[in-house]
């Protein structure tokens, strides 16, 4: 293998793939970055097994020659070392040459590095994903979908499948659901050109958080391919693969009540602040519980009572209060997380009873729906 | 580890190899196996053989090709769907199991089967075993587990009952002595080391180990002293034995070697043609065997076993050895 | 309170003699003077005696003896099933008598307790008072007792043990070396079999050895308990008589000695099921819930072991306790014959203090109770919160049908 490349372009590519490389891997080859060079361009791959990031640098871009390929080939180089070397090379022209036994020579200006590389056939094979089932989401929307759901995944490994977000394509919609079994966040998006076949995957929450970090806030399209092995997110020249969680995701659709007994419409921000104040007196070891009570004249009361600490009561005027009287307790933290995800708009809270899940959504639609299981007090 | 070919493994463990090849051939791969076998029985090598067979791109006659990408990566430890865990200190820690489950609860990085191997599986502490148990009961995806142990009874029954048991044959002493002699080891040394280990490799390195040779010599010197008088033996304990066997493990080995010497005498007394641990001492054994009784030899064997136990309870070594010397003299009148 | 810690206290330890047997004899006077014993279940020959009368003891029968063995030693032995309700009533009557003298009454178990009489008597009057109390319990309830008089709890308990039945013993600190020090450590209150074994391994064989051992040595080998035991052996004990100690119910547990050694999982499971049922009933009677569930297993070789699991949500329902107890048993029991099984819920708190975060997997069971909760809330609104919540609590009366002799339910009777 032999080629020349522009150092700044190589560095850009490395920056992306390095995000996937971890020193904690149990598979030795994954401490390296794989470099594949063909007549068309160069592909860099980094992976920690859970996520894999690939970048592509074409030989030529907008008439500018980025790479000059003399002889195609592949090699794996120690990621940390390679990254440091490229970062510190003296000129923008870098020359690579791999000879017998993976001997790798990197030259730039007057510096001349000799590295011992690793056999690229040892590197994991990424799945070939067909583009048939591909669909597209703008990067900024994808980012908010992640923000609105991923906080609700379980952090406990007792039900591993709940550590992921369930992505389901059904009836022309993409539905993303996360739950730690105590609360649930659901985001629905109507998209054009969704695959007609129903399909679903459970993407680890951590992978989505990592993906979010490399997405920009623009409307750049992100192509998504879901298979039963991996999920792939493609944007410009970056490919982001994630492994999936095994196991069946519980059917959460039955949790969302069909009809409600008590409907409250309230300003999200003022409710959030009241809950925040009440939670000051709610004891951590009692699930940080606050009490929500409907009152007369479109008023609700948020209260909290800890025998040793003290108590707090606060009444809030609501826009509307319809239906049965209700006293219900819930975790202040879950409520605040939910209100933050809906982001300060006027919200509708719908209850069906003190021991049943209730939902919180924007007054406008139910694209973002938050569901919370109450706390039973004795 | 010595790389062993399929033919060598077949010779070493014909039953096990046939069993595993049939499982593969009939496509009856199970969820979990226990490979039970002592040192030298080839559990490690055969596990590698079996795992390679499961992943090999072009197996021929139920033997992995050794050259395909998957075979290569099983050997180098780079196959992303193959995971192994080992004890950390005395136990396989919960953290190791958690990391494994974290891996197993996700789809493989590459398509197909996932395999995990638990080495020294009897060292799973109850907490770790229980963590693993749930996954073992309801594995997600296509998963095969292999637990390697030299003592299946030391494993939790809940794990045992969920695995298919593959029992390895121990290597015979005769075979080992022959192999060692073929490698140029003296028969006397080969006979001794074959009592200490059933792992051929370990036996070979022990045979070449100066420290081991010194230990053997010291033990035999003490045996001779015990048959002279108690003063001689006490002297030998203080001058040679105690300064040489400082670590608990060394003392353990020395007491074993001492036990083997007395066992030799019993064996020779019963049958002058018996196979000995110390064939080079045969004529001496014959001489003392004539002068002693079975009752006395039995007391002596028990005394050594008792010392072995006291060692485990961390008894003061000097005291323990002095007591042992007195006990070895018991039944013999002092002149 | 601080004043009570001063020197020169007078503490009584009242210990009822062969309590269950005495209650039975008081209940049915034809049993008086006869060898009787209470057995967990007299029909099951592997059962053990919970207690027996002095007449039975004279024939070599003792508590914890196997039924068949006792029958062999003493063929005329009358075996009775336990009647805990009867014992509970008798126990309450005894403590009621004690409370007519002072408020400083601390029940320790169904048949023993301490009272602090420092404010009531001086010097020799203490013996007279003890005689009066002992006579009253005998005359009014027909029950014999022994009373120990001493400056602290440990000495009082030791004293009450010295003369039975109907004994009154004064034990002074200075008498301790003469009376106790030559005895083996196992004879000392607070030293169980395992502690005694440990002490013997440390070459501490008599109570005197313990009294004179170095505190640092004991601490390094036995921890805090080592120092405490040395104090006791020297007659030092600063624990107060605390009438409120009954409120610190830290755990609720039931155990059962099995009529035959169990080896089948199914039988073990059934027994655990029964135990959980009883523990749940007792928790419910006390309106309690606990964060920790533990199981106890004693095998045929008398090896005891226990395992526990702690949760952030306090639990109290039978199904929840059972699930955890079975899980623990499954993991911990490896098929060895089982002699005794126990289930305990500890780290308990008043249910009013608890809050349970519902989950998508369990809310439906809770939702079933919604109508009741609604009714209660409506009543509370009408009549005020306190009345109803108290009413709810009182509605639940402890159920004494439990089979355990270690039951501390009787303590409920002393509350309020």
Q: Are B308 and B249 in contact (CB under 8 A)?
A: no
Determine the 3-state secondary structure of C14 from DSSP: strand
Q: Are B82 and B146 in contact (CB under 8 A)?
A: no
Is C15 assigned a ligand-binding role in the annotation? yes
At the fourth CATH level, the homologous superfamily of domain B6-167 is P-loop containing nucleotide triphosphate hydrolases (3.40.50.300)
Closest by CA to B146, choosing from B128, B130, B159, is B159
Residue C112 annotated as catalytic: yes
Residues of A with CB under 8 A from a CB of C: 179, 181-182, 184, 250, 252, 255, 285-287, 289, 307, 327, 329, 331, 353-357, 373-378
- List of residues 6+ apart from C227 with CB closer than 8 A: C215, C218, C219
Euclidean distance between the first and the last CA atom of chain C, given in angstroms as a whole number: 21
For residue B165, the distance in angstroms to the closest alpha carbon of chain C comes to: 18
Task: Say whether B73 and A122 touch across the interface (CB within 8 A).
Answer: yes
In chain B, what residues touch C330 (CB-CB under 8 Å)? 158
In chain A, what residues touch C372 (CB-CB under 8 Å)? none
Task: Say whether C358 and A378 touch across the interface (CB within 8 A).
Answer: no
A135-243 under CATH 3.10.150.10, yes or no: yes
Task: Say whether C332 and B126 touch across the interface (CB within 8 A).
Answer: yes
Conformational region of residue B66, where left means phi above 0, alpha means psi within -120 to 50, and beta covers everything else: left
CA distance C146 to B75: 79
Tokens representing A22 are: 């971890």
> How many other β-carbons are positioned within 10 Å of the β-carbon of residue C21?
27
Task: Say whether C370 and A255 touch across the interface (CB within 8 A).
Answer: no
B209-329 under CATH 1.10.230.10, yes or no: no
Q: Parse chain B into domains and list their residue ranges.
A: 6-167, 209-329
Task: Say whether B72 and A243 touch across the interface (CB within 8 A).
Answer: no
Q: What is the pLDDT of residues B10-23, one digit of tens each?
A: 888 889 999 999 99
With contact defined as 3+ CB pairs under 8 Å, the chains touching C are A, B
Radius of gyration of chain A (CA): 26
Out of B76, B77, B111, name the one closest to residue A229 (CB).
B111
Q: Do domains A2-122 and A135-243 have the same CATH topology?
A: yes
Out of B130, B133, B157, name the one closest to residue C334 (CB).
B157
Q: Which residue of B has its CA nearest to A246?
A: B106
Q: Parse chain A into domains and list their residue ranges.
A: 2-122, 135-243, 256-372
With contact defined as 3+ CB pairs under 8 Å, the chains touching A are B, C
Structure confidence at residue C391 (pLDDT): 35
Q: Where are the beta strands (DSSP E) in A296-355?
A: 299-306, 310-317, 320-323, 327-331, 346-351
Q: Which residue of C has its CA nearest to A184?
A: C360
Q: Do domains B6-167 and B209-329 have the same CATH topology?
A: no
Out of A30, A157, A229, name the one closest to residue B98 (CB).
A157
Structure confidence at residue C371 (pLDDT): 76
Out of A307, A355, A376, name the one closest to residue C355 (CB).
A376
Asked which of A249-253, B76-80, C309-313 is least confident by mean pLDDT, the reply is C309-313
Section A148-175 average pLDDT: 92
For residue A70, the distance in angstroms to the closest alpha carbon of chain B comes to: 27
Q: Which of C55, C106, C112, C412 is catalytic?
A: C112
Interface probe, candidates B94, B124, B130, chain C, greatest C C-beta count within 10 A: B130
For residue A33, the distance in angstroms to the closest alpha carbon of chain B comes to: 14
Class of the CATH-defined domain C249-414: alpha beta
CATH domain C1-171 topology = Alpha-Beta Plaits (3.30.70)
Section A52-68 average pLDDT: 92
Structure confidence at residue B203 (pLDDT): 87
Model's pTM, two decimal places?
0.62
Q: What is the pLDDT of residues B81-129, one digit of tens each?
A: 999 999 987 788 888 999 999 899 999 999 889 999 999 998 888 778 8
CA distance C275 to C270: 9
CA distance B65 to B51: 12
Q: Which residue of C has its CA nearest to B153?
A: C334
Q: Are B219 and B192 in contact (CB under 8 A)?
A: no
Strands across the sheet containing A32-37: A73-78, A32-37, A41-47, A51-58, A238-243, A230-235, A221-226, A135-138
Structure confidence at residue C387 (pLDDT): 46
Q: Which residue of A has its CA nearest to C359?
A: A182
Asked which of A73-82, A141-150, A259-268, C353-362 is least confident by mean pLDDT, the reply is C353-362
Task: Say whether C331 and B130 touch across the interface (CB within 8 A).
Answer: yes
Is C111 assigned a ligand-binding role in the annotation? yes
Structure confidence at residue A85 (pLDDT): 93
Structure confidence at residue C383 (pLDDT): 61
Q: What is the pLDDT of residues B225-250, one digit of tens each?
A: 988 888 888 888 998 999 999 888 89
CA distance A50 to A32: 15
Every domain of chain C with CATH number 3.30.70.270 lies at: 1-171
**Which of A304-313, B309-318, C81-90, C272-281 has the highest average model confidence (pLDDT)?**
C272-281
At the fourth CATH level, the homologous superfamily of domain C177-233 is 5' to 3' exonuclease, C-terminal subdomain (1.10.150.20)
Task: Say whether A27 and B72 touch across the interface (CB within 8 A).
Answer: no
Residue indicated by tokens 């509370």: C380
Structure confidence at residue A308 (pLDDT): 54
Q: What is the pLDDT of residues A172-217, one digit of tens each?
A: 899 999 999 999 999 999 988 888 888 899 999 999 999 999 888 8
Q: Are A264 and A321 in contact (CB under 8 A)?
A: yes
Task: Say whether C334 and B126 touch across the interface (CB within 8 A).
Answer: no
For each successive 10 residues of chain C (416 residues), what is the average pLDDT? 58 93 91 86 65 88 82 89 82 90 86 90 87 93 94 94 90 89 88 83 90 87 83 90 68 82 86 92 82 85 75 81 91 83 84 77 84 69 51 35 38 49
- Given the candidates 1.10.1200.10, 3.40.50.1980, 3.10.150.10, 3.40.1360.10, the CATH classification of the domain at A2-122 is 3.10.150.10
Out of B78, B104, B106, name the one closest to residue A122 (CB).
B78
Closest by CA to C298, choosing from C336, C343, C338, C253, is C338
CATH domain A256-372 topology = Proliferating Cell Nuclear Antigen (3.70.10)
Task: Say whether B157 and C330 touch across the interface (CB within 8 A).
Answer: no
Q: The complex's ipTM?
A: 0.83
CA distance C278 to C270: 13
Section B207-220 average pLDDT: 92
């Amino acid at each position: 293998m032999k080629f020349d490349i522009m150092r700044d372009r190589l560095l850009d590519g490395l920056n992306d793939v390095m995000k996937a490389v971890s020193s904690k891997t149990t598979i030795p080859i994954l401490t390296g970055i794989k470099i594949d060079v063909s007549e068309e361009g160069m592909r860099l791959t980094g992976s920690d097994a859970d996520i894999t990031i690939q970048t592509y640098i074409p030989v030529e871009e907008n008439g500018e020659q980025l790479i000059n390929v003399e002889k195609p080939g592949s090699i794996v180089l120690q990621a940390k070392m390679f990254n440091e070397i490229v970062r510190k090379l003296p000129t923008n022209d870098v020359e690579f040459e791999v000879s017998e036994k993976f001997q790798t020579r990197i030259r730039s200006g007057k510096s001349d590095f000799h590295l011992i590389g690793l056999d690229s056939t040892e590197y994991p094979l990424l799945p070939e994903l067909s583009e048939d089932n591909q669909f597209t989401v703008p990067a900024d929307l994808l980012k908010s979908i992640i923000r609105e759901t991923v906080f609700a995944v379980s952090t406990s490994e007792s039900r591993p499948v709940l550590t992921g977000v369930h992505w389901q394509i059904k009836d022309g919609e993409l539905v993303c659901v996360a739950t730690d079994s105590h609360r649930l966040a659901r985001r629905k998006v109507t998209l054009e050109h969704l695959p007609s076949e129903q399909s679903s995957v459970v993407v680890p929450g951590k992978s989505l958080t990592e993906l979010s970090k490399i997405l920009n806030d623009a409307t750049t399209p992100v192509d998504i391919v879901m298979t039963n092995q991996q999920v792939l997110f493609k944007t410009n020249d970056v490919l982001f693969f994630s492994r999936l969680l095994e196991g069946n995701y519980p059917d959460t659709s039955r949790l969302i009540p069909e009809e409600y007994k008590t409907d409250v419409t309230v300003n999200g921000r003022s409710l959030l602040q009241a809950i925040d104040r009440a939670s000051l007196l709610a004891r951590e070891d009692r699930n940080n519980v606050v009490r929500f009570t409907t009152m007369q004249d479109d008023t609700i009361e948020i209260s909290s009572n800890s025998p040793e600490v003290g108590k707090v009561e606060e009444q809030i005027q609501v826009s509307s209060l319809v239906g049965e009287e209700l006293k219900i307790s819930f975790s202040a933290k879950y409520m605040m997380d939910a209100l933050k995800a809906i982001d300060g708009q006027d919200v509708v809270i719908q209850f069906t009873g003190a021991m049943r899940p209730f939902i919180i959504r924007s007054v406008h639609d139910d694209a973002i729906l938050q569901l919370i299981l109450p706390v039973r007090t004795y | 580890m010595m790389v062993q070919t399929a033919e060598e493994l077949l010779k070493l463990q014909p039953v096990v190899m046939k069993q595993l090849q049939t499982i593969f051939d009939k496509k009856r791969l199970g969820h979990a196996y226990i490979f039970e076998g002592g040192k030298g029985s080839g559990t490690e090598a055969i596990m590698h053989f079996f795992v390679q067979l499961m992943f090999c791109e072009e197996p021929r006659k139920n033997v992995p090709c050794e050259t395909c990408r998957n075979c290569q990566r099983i050997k180098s430890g780079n196959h992303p769907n193959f995971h192994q865990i080992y004890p950390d200190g005395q136990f396989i820690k919960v953290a190791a199991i958690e990391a494994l489950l974290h891996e197993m609860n996700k789809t493989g990085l590459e398509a197909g089967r996932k395999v995990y191997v638990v080495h020294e599986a009897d060292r799973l502490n109850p907490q770790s075993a229980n963590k693993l148990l749930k996954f073992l009961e309801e594995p997600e995806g296509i998963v095969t587990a292999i637990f390697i142990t030299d003592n299946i009874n030391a494993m939790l029954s809940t794990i045992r009952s969920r695995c298919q048991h593959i029992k390895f044959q121990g290597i015979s002493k005769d075979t080992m002595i022959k192999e060692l002699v073929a490698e140029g080891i003296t028969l006397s040394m080969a006979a001794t080391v074959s009592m200490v280990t059933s792992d051929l490799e370990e036996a070979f390195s022990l045979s070449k180990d100066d420290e081991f040779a010194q230990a053997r010599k010291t033990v035999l010197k003490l045996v001779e002293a015990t048959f002279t008088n108690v003063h001689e033996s006490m002297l030998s304990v203080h001058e040679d034995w105690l300064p040489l066997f400082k670590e608990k493990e060394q003392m353990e080995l020395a007491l074993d070697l001492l036990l083997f010497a007395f066992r030799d005498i019993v064996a020779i007394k019963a049958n002058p043609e018996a196979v000995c641990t110390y064939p080079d001492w045969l004529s001496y054994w014959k001489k003392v065997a004539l002068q002693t009784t079975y009752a006395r030899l039995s007391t002596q064997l028990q005394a050594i076993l008792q010392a072995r136990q006291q060692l485990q309870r961390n008894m003061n070594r000097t005291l323990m050895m002095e007591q042992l010397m007195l006990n070895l003299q018991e039944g013999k009148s002092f002149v | 309170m601080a004043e009570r810690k001063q020197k020169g206290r007078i503490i009584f330890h009242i210990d009822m003699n062969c309590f269950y047997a005495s209650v039975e004899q008081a209940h049915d006077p034809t049993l008086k003077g006869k060898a009787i014993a209470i057995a967990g279940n007299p029909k099951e020959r592997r059962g053990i005696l919970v207690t027996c009368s002095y007449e039975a003891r004279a024939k070599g029968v003792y508590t914890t003896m196997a039924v068949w063995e006792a029958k062999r030693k003493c063929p005329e032995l009358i075996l009775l099933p336990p009647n805990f309700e009867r014992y509970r009533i008798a126990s309450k009557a005894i403590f009621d008598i004690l409370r007519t003298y002072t408020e400083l009454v601390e029940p320790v178990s169904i048949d023993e307790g301490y009272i602090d009489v420092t404010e009531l008597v001086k010097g020799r009057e203490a013996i007279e008072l003890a005689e009066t109390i002992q006579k009253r319990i005998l005359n009014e309830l027909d029950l014999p007792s022994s009373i120990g008089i001493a400056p602290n709890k440990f000495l009082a308990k030791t004293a009450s043990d010295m003369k039975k039945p109907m004994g009154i013993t004064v034990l002074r600190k200075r008498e301790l070396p003469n009376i106790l020090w030559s005895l083996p450590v196992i004879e000392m209150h607070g030293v169980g079999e395992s502690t005694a074994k440990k002490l013997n391994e440390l070459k501490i064989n008599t109570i005197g050895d313990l009294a004179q051992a170095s505190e640092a040595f004991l601490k390094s080998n036995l921890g805090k308990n080592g120092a405490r035991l040395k104090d006791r052996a020297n007659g030092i004990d600063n624990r107060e008589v605390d009438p409120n100690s009954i409120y610190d119910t830290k755990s609720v547990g039931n155990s059962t000695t099995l009529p035959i050694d169990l080896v089948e999982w199914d039988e073990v499971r059934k027994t655990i099921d029964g135990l959980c049922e009883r523990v749940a009933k007792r928790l419910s009677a006390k309106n309690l819930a606990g964060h920790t569930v533990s199981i106890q297993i004693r095998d045929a070789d008398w090896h005891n072991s226990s395992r526990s699991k702690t949760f952030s949500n306090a639990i109290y329902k039978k199904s929840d306790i059972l699930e955890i107890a079975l899980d623990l048993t499954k993991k911990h029991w490896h098929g060895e014959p089982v002699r005794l099984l126990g289930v305990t819920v500890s780290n308990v708190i008043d249910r009013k203090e608890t809050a349970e975060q519902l989950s998508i997997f369990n809310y439906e069971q809770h939702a079933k109770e919604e109508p009741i909760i609604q009714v209660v809330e409506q009543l509370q609104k009408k009549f005020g919160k306190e009345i109803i919540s108290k009413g709810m609590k009182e509605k639940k009366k402890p159920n004494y049908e439990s089979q355990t002799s270690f039951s501390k339910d009787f303590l409920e009777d002393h509350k309020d």
